[in-house]
Amino acid sequence: MIQATVITYPQAKKSQRYWSLGIVVFFCTLSIVLCWLWPTDSLAAKENYVEVVIEGEKIIIIRADTIEHDEVRGLTRFLGHVSLVRDQENITANQAVWHNNTRSAELDGNIRLTSPNFTLLAERALVNLDLSIAKIYNGRAFFPKNNYYLSGEIIERLGEKEFEIEDGTATTCNGPTPAWTIHADHLSITEGGYASATGVIFKGMGSTLPFFATPYFLFPVKNERQSGILRPTITSSTHDGLKTALPIFWTTGENHDLTFTPIWRQKRGLAISLEGRYHLERSRGIWQVSHLRDHDPKYYNYINNTTNIAAKERFWLRAQNQWNVNSWDLTLNVDLASDPLLLYEFASDQDGFNQTNMIFSQTFGHTVNEALDPNRTTELYAQKLNYDTQIRGGLYYTQNLYQENNRDTIQRLPALQYDIVSRSLSETNNKSRFSLGTRYDYFYRNSSPINYTDETSHRLWLNPSLNWTVPVSNLAILKLDGDLELTTYAASGHRPVTNLAVNNARHDNLDNCLTGSMEAEISTTFNRIFDGGPGQAMATRHQLTPTITLNYIKAPHNQGNLPYWDLFDRRLPRQTARYGLQNTLVSKTETKTNESGEIIAGYDYFQFLKFGLWTSYEFANDADLTSDLYNHHYNTNYYGRGSGPLEVELEAFFNSYLSAKIISAFDSRNGNASSHDASVSLGDLNGDKLTLTYDYNDPKITFGQGVFDEYQEIRSELTLFLNSEWKTRVFTRFDINSRQATETNAQLIYQAQCYGLGLIYSKTYDDQAVGLIVDLLGLGTIGFENNEETSNDSHFFY
């Protein structure tokens, strides 16, 4: 149908009429020529079409160039530029036949189905839009959320999200020749869930080279959580033999789920691991438990007991939970294990320490004790925080895995505290502030290895303190601090100490200790501003801050007779002067633009250098108190009367890519270094980074810490992005004293659009590993690894 529109203009002058008539004749002639040259079928496709609306649960609209009805057979044929639209799905084809009785359509020629979740191309198809089912021949489908490409000789759509494919292929690679494909005799796919395949052949090198085959394979096509089987693993090693794990995931609700993982180890037996998670409006938590009846148990000894103990019934229960009830925060952390070897023996397994450490750290920001720590802590506490007060109460249970019957292990059942933190004594003047720390603890431990005598104690600890800050003639700042510590004990039982004479003595029924301290600190600041500075700096400010601190601690000399539970129970008398200075250099740069390129008025300040020197002098001569620190339990860095160590701190940022940091201490009495921590970092805009670190520690001059050897090592870490696809990382740890590398780890990674390759080498004192990792993005990881301890191990997992 051609429509003409007549437009009437105002009457023009005679001279203008000829020009107007010429223009009209020109455009009319041009229109006739264009109509003659333009294909008539294209105009028909735009202007002349038929439309049929089919009523139902969801309206179906069919458009085509022409339509033919067959009333006898109940058919309607649509020819030319056919489109079927239902809700958000649209199908186009060259022609279609609609069956009125079955409300289905036969499509043929250049079929394209588009929906919010996928796009499908085919040559021929049978579809029923009411039931969302179809049978498609020589079809290809694309799922953009997962970047999946699926194709097959026959594709059956069994519902809105379910597909069956015969003689099909799958890949996540873009382009006409994908880097890898999965070829399968049969594929079953649930969009947002999983795809299972039988008769599978993996092909690489542009999908031309077969490199792996399996009778069955399962891979995810998930958009959200859904119950099912997670990625299984298969491993072989001399430690466990053949090992298989099959995690089963169950979404028990919108905000909670369970993961059940049976792990079979050829040499060790069947282990069961269970993880439960929940995240509600005012609470969240994770519970994990693992159990193994070990067929090849390891042996360990308790402290002061040479009898070998077999670690056979092995378990680890761990959990972290947080709740909020009104204005109270409740926390429950659980960490209970069967033996001291379990956590680091299976550290890298699915049910091991490393996996738990990663999950807890990412969820709660903290984790359980280290794998090598025999002390496992379980705690339940509630706390309420206000502006300057804190109330907290809880139960704390510690399990020492190297102590038989958990002997000599301190338990706090319960522990209560109330604190006032830096409360101003005046509403108009903040120069004077008051703080108060209060603690009540009930301690318990089994202390005697002979008669299993218990040691118990009630302890009340009070610590009021005052702080006063006042300027001195606008030249300096004076800070005065004073506090009292009153500790009262009601104890009974025997002390777990090595001195037999003391060990056989019982506690006094009631005892107390009163200590106090005073500290005065005076500091001043000198500033000078220079023009210019590093880079484009307009100016640089040099700030010099000298500080002197006098500290006096008054405490009795007979504290060794008191109970000892933690650092609150000991306070060493001191008379210390500490003095030093700190330099800082800060550059000022004019701010020109923001991220959007807009001009902003303002300045940037950057501290590019900090340098400090500190030392001290001790006036008190209390060496007799530190001569037997194990029994007296003083935990301090007291060196005796005289000058203390010289401490040096340097931190420099030369630019955005180069920085250095040094923290060192020197024994001022003999000039020897006692510790160094120095590092240099170099990077660039590409993300390349090199970090060199030197660590040195000589703990011989430190009292009360036991006897330790000198520690000295160099660490280096290099990350290089060779180009957009290749990167490498090398980490080394070198022990200077033994003159050998204690740890080396090197990785060469290739990352393409749909797959990654990784070559990994690692070496420690007693272990060496070479690994090849193939990461098929969207399907999981395939790896081949060779470990060398006393013999070769091989690993395969996916």
Nearest 5°: the CA angle 563, 568, 571 is: 90
* pLDDT band, very low/low/confident/very high, at 344 (cuts 50, 70, 90): confident
Sign of CA dihedral 373, 374, 379, 383: negative
Residue-level pLDDT at 87: 84
**Rg of the chain, C-alpha, whole Å:** 39
Cβ contacts of residue 288 below 8 Å, gap of 6+?
273, 274, 275, 276, 316, 317, 318, 319, 351, 356
- How far apart CA 602 and CA 605 sit, in angstroms, is 10
**Mean pLDDT for the stretch of residues 415-426:** 91
Residue-level pLDDT at 598: 66
Residue-level pLDDT at 527: 92
Answer yes or no: are the C-beta atoms of 329 and 383 closer than 8 Å.
yes
* pLDDT band, very low/low/confident/very high, at 321 (cuts 50, 70, 90): very high
Residue-level pLDDT at 783: 41
For 72, the token pair is: 């006898």
- How far apart CA 665 and CA 673 sit, in angstroms, is 6
Residue-level pLDDT at 238: 67
For 433, the token pair is: 């502030």
Least reliable range by pLDDT among 218-232, 432-446, 673-687, 709-723: 218-232
* pLDDT band, very low/low/confident/very high, at 501 (cuts 50, 70, 90): very low
Q: Is 75 helix (H, G, I), strand (E, B) or coil?
A: strand
Which backbone phi and psi does 630 adopt, to 5 degrees?
A: -65, -45
Residue-level pLDDT at 674: 85
The DSSP output letter for 550 is E
**Mean pLDDT for the stretch of residues 285-314:** 90
- How far apart CA 270 and CA 250 sit, in angstroms, is 21
Please say if the pLDDT value at position 274 is more than 90: yes
Nearest 5°: the CA angle 354, 355, 356 is: 95
Answer yes or no: are the C-beta atoms of 240 and 208 closer than 8 Å.
no
**β pairing state of 432-446 and 792-797:** unpaired
Residue-level pLDDT at 313: 93
Roughly how many angstroms between the first and final C-alpha of the chain, as a whole number? 63
Answer yes or no: are the C-beta atoms of 308 and 299 closer than 8 Å.
yes
- How far apart CA 599 and CA 369 sit, in angstroms, is 51
Q: Is 45 helix (H, G, I), strand (E, B) or coil?
A: helix
Counts for the chain of helices (H) and strands (E), in that order? 6, 47
The DSSP output letter for 507 is P
* pLDDT band, very low/low/confident/very high, at 379 (cuts 50, 70, 90): very high
Please say if the pLDDT value at position 302 is more than 60: yes
Q: Which residues pair with 646 in a beta bridge?
A: 666
Q: Is 408 helix (H, G, I), strand (E, B) or coil?
A: coil
**β pairing state of 181-190 and 539-554:** unpaired
Residue-level pLDDT at 312: 92
Instruction: Report pLDDT digits (tens) over 670-704.
Output: 888 888 999 999 999 888 999 999 999 876 544 33
Answer yes or no: are the C-beta atoms of 152 and 141 closer than 8 Å.
no
Residue-level pLDDT at 703: 39
**Mean pLDDT for the stretch of residues 782-796:** 36
Buried b (16+ CB within 10 A) or exposed e, 246-268: ebebeeeeeeebbbebebebeeb
Residue-level pLDDT at 778: 62
Instruction: Report pLDDT digits (tens) over 705-750.
Output: 344 467 889 999 999 998 888 999 999 999 998 888 888 888 898 8
Answer yes or no: are the C-beta atoms of 139 and 120 closer than 8 Å.
yes
Global pTM value: 0.66
Least reliable range by pLDDT among 110-114, 647-651, 762-766: 762-766
Please say if the pLDDT value at position 452 is more than 70: no
**Mean pLDDT for the stretch of residues 596-616:** 82
Instruction: Report pLDDT digits (tens) over 191-216.
Output: 766 778 888 888 887 767 787 788 88
* pLDDT band, very low/low/confident/very high, at 558 (cuts 50, 70, 90): confident
Q: Which residue has the higher pLDDT, 583 or 41?
A: 583
- Give the long-range contacts of residues 5-13, CB within 8 A, separation 24 or more: none
Answer yes or no: are the C-beta atoms of 130 and 57 closer than 8 Å.
yes
Q: How many CA atoms lie within 13 A of 309 on its CB side?
A: 17
Least reliable range by pLDDT among 59-73, 163-177, 222-236, 570-584: 222-236
* pLDDT band, very low/low/confident/very high, at 222 (cuts 50, 70, 90): low
Please say if the pLDDT value at position 18 is more than 50: no
Cβ contacts of residue 159 below 8 Å, gap of 6+?
131, 132, 133
* pLDDT band, very low/low/confident/very high, at 463 (cuts 50, 70, 90): very high
Share of the chain above pLDDT 70, in %: 79
Residue-level pLDDT at 192: 66
Q: Which residue has the higher pLDDT, 641 or 438?
A: 438
What is the average pLDDT score of the chain?
Answer: 81
Residue-level pLDDT at 69: 85
Please say if the pLDDT value at position 25 is more than 60: no
The DSSP output letter for 672 is -
Answer yes or no: are the C-beta atoms of 96 and 107 closer than 8 Å.
yes
**Mean pLDDT for the stretch of residues 64-70:** 88
Amino acid type, 406: N
- How far apart CA 786 and CA 237 sit, in angstroms, is 9
Least reliable range by pLDDT among 169-173, 205-209, 329-333, 398-402: 205-209
CA 333 from centre of chain = 19
Please say if the pLDDT value at position 396 is more than 70: yes
Residue-level pLDDT at 177: 84
**Mean pLDDT for the stretch of residues 12-35:** 49
- How far apart CA 81 and CA 59 sit, in angstroms, is 20
Q: Is 10 helix (H, G, I), strand (E, B) or coil?
A: coil
Q: DSSP letter string over 163-194?
A: EEEEEEEEE---SSS-S-EEEEEEEEEETTEE
Residue-level pLDDT at 702: 41
Q: Is 417 helix (H, G, I), strand (E, B) or coil?
A: strand
Answer yes or no: are the C-beta atoms of 717 and 733 closer than 8 Å.
no
CA max distance for the chain:
133
Residue-level pLDDT at 560: 76
Please say if the pLDDT value at position 219 is more than 80: no
Buried b (16+ CB within 10 A) or exposed e, 469-478: eeeeeeeebe
**Mean pLDDT for the stretch of residues 19-41:** 49
